[in-house]
């Protein structure tokens, strides 16, 4: 016969679970504002994801310390940080979880491949979303009024890279590798378009994944086509080993990449073989921006060296909170129209959104690895 005590405990436990699970929490009650932050906190890109989270956290802590008052009430921001593992499927699960926990805004995600599916969930819930780093064109092309980004998109970045490769680097035969993610593929396609328009010949197009570390087969195949330049659309966990293996094979072509490659981690993974690689990053160099040096000092003192997108996450939080201040409320329906009218000078530059949610009038800076560190080569300003 079952013990009556056990029975009672079981019933109590079930009741607690049932009551605890019901009811959505209102994120604006009791002066707490919940803002979500999503990035890959585990996996090969964990260093970039943590960087995003730290940038957002720095902003949130500063705002809380300075005191935030909305509509006469003192408010406190809670940053709910989640891990999407750079995986589109996990991204949607995490997005739903955040929406259910009552966030009023989200800074995320990091990868275009996870930002795009998650944006549908945020849009359906009416939650404004600002991505610090998703650059694929498809993100804002969906027509969601809740989708914004503070980084210039790949249409411009790919365009600048393509022109630079042909006009400045003089490449005539170009091989392209991409990692088949929304970001890598999109950037590589834009690059190919621009390079072809500038008169170069695309001698090879190869593919890999965002989990690979072995590129010998595709690099050997590319080597046989003798390109002047190899373009890689993807992130640094692939770019690092790729640079190493290029040198191992004796493939002396110039390596060119996008913002996913322009990180300290790339130099760490490729070691001495990173020397000479060129990559672009939207925006001006951080130190050239007003407030950029101060941000770098604050961030580095607390979290260590900046990986890549932390300044963008920082600006994204400020943009969101500024819109809330102008609307006098943290309710998504009230501050969303203010968000669209943003005109903010951040550490990454002047932030103004166009009708699609892209940041208008950006620049792209090209960097090269010299003596084991990234050095800026030149900045190209957009004509849009």
Partner 1 sequence: MAWCWAACMHWWHWVTPWFTASLELINFAHGEVTMVGAMVALSVISALVGSGVELPGIVIALLGLLAAIPACMALGFTIERLAYRPLRNAPRLAPLITAIGVSIVLQNLAMLIWGRQYITFPPILPQGRHQLLGATITDIQIVILITSVVLMLALTLLVKRTRLGRAMRATAQSPQIAGLMGVNANTVISLTFVMGSALAAVAGVMVSAYYGLAHYYMGFLLGLKAFSAAVLGGIGNLAGAMLGGLLLGVIESLGAGYIGDFTGGFLGSNYQDVFAFFVLILVLVFRPSGLLGERVGERA
User: Closest distance between partner 1 and the C-beta of residue 379, in Å?
Assistant: 31
Our CB check for partner 1 shows the closer of 42 and 345 to be 42
| Other CB atoms within 10 A of residue 274 CB | 22
User: Closest distance between partner 1 and the C-beta of residue 267, in Å?
Assistant: 11
Our CB check for partner 1 shows the closer of 85 and 112 to be 85
Backbone angles phi, psi at 206, to 5 degrees: -120, 165
User: Closest distance between partner 1 and the C-beta of residue 64, in Å?
Assistant: 30
User: Closest distance between partner 1 and the C-beta of residue 69, in Å?
Assistant: 40
Binding residues for partner 1, rule: CB under 8 A, are: 42-44, 46-47, 180, 204-209, 212-214, 216-218, 220-221, 237, 240-241, 244, 248-250, 268-269, 271-272
Whole-angstrom Cα distance, residue 142 to residue 127? 15
User: Closest distance between partner 1 and the C-beta of residue 169, in Å?
Assistant: 24
Whole-angstrom Cα distance, residue 318 to residue 321? 5
Our CB check for partner 1 shows the closer of 68 and 177 to be 177
Our CB check for partner 1 shows the closer of 196 and 334 to be 196
Our CB check for partner 1 shows the closer of 43 and 346 to be 43
Our CB check for partner 1 shows the closer of 153 and 208 to be 208
User: Closest distance between partner 1 and the C-beta of residue 139, in Å?
Assistant: 23
Our CB check for partner 1 shows the closer of 41 and 319 to be 41
User: Closest distance between partner 1 and the C-beta of residue 275, in Å?
Assistant: 12
Tokens of 237: 């966990």
Our CB check for partner 1 shows the closer of 222 and 310 to be 222
Whole-angstrom Cα distance, residue 286 to residue 288? 5
User: Closest distance between partner 1 and the C-beta of residue 278, in Å?
Assistant: 21
Our CB check for partner 1 shows the closer of 42 and 69 to be 42
Instruction: Say what angle helices 310-327 and 292-303 make with each other, to 10 degrees.
Output: 110
Alpha-carbon distances, residue 212 vs 114, 179, 215, 234, 382 (angstroms): 18, 9, 8, 11, 34
Whole-angstrom Cα distance, residue 300 to residue 317? 18
User: Closest distance between partner 1 and the C-beta of residue 47, in Å?
Assistant: 6
């Amino acid at each position: 016969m079952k013990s009556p005590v056990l029975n009672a405990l079981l019933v109590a436990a079930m009741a607690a679970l049932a009551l605890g699970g019901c009811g959505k929490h209102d994120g604006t009650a009791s002066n707490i504002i919940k803002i979500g932050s999503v990035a890959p906190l585990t996996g090969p890109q964990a260093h970039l994801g943590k960087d995003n989270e730290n940038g957002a956290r720095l902003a949130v802590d500063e705002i809380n310390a300075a005191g935030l008052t909305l509509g006469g009430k003192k408010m406190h921001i809670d940053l709910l940080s989640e891990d999407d593992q750079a995986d589109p499927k996990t991204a949607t699960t995490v997005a739903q979880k955040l929406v259910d926990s009552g966030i009023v805004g989200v800074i995320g995600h990091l990868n275009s491949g996870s930002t795009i599916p998650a944006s549908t969930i945020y849009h359906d819930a009416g939650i404004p979303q600002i991505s610090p780093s998703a650059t694929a064109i498809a993100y804002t092309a969906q027509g969601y009024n809740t989708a914004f980004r503070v980084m210039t998109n790949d249409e411009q970045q790919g365009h600048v890279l393509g022109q630079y490769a042909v006009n400045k680097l003089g490449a005539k035969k170009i091989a392209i590798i991409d990692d088949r993610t929304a970001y890598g593929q999109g950037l590589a396609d834009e690059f190919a378009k621009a390079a072809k328009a500038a008169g170069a010949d695309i001698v090879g197009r190869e593919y890999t994944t965002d989990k690979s570390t072995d590129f010998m087969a595709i690099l050997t195949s590319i080597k046989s086509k003798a390109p002047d330049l190899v373009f890689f659309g993807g992130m640094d966990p692939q770019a690092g080993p790729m640079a190493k293996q290029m040198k191992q094979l004796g493939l002396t072509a110039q390596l060119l990449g996008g913002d996913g490659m322009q990180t300290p981690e790339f130099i760490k993974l490729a070691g001495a073989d990173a020397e000479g690689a060129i990559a672009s990053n939207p925006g001006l160099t951080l130190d050239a921006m007003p407030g950029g040096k101060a941000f770098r000092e604050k961030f580095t003192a607390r979290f260590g060296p900046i990986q890549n997108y932390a300044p963008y996450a920082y600006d994204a939080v400020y943009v969101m909170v500024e819109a809330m201040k102008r609307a006098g409320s943290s309710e998504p329906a009230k501050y969303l129209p203010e968000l669209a009218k943003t005109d903010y000078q951040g550490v990454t530059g002047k932030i103004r959104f166009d009708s699609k949610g892209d940041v208008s009038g950006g620049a792209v800076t090209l960097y090269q690895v010299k003596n084991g560190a990234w050095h800026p080569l030149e900045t190209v300003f957009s004509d849009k």
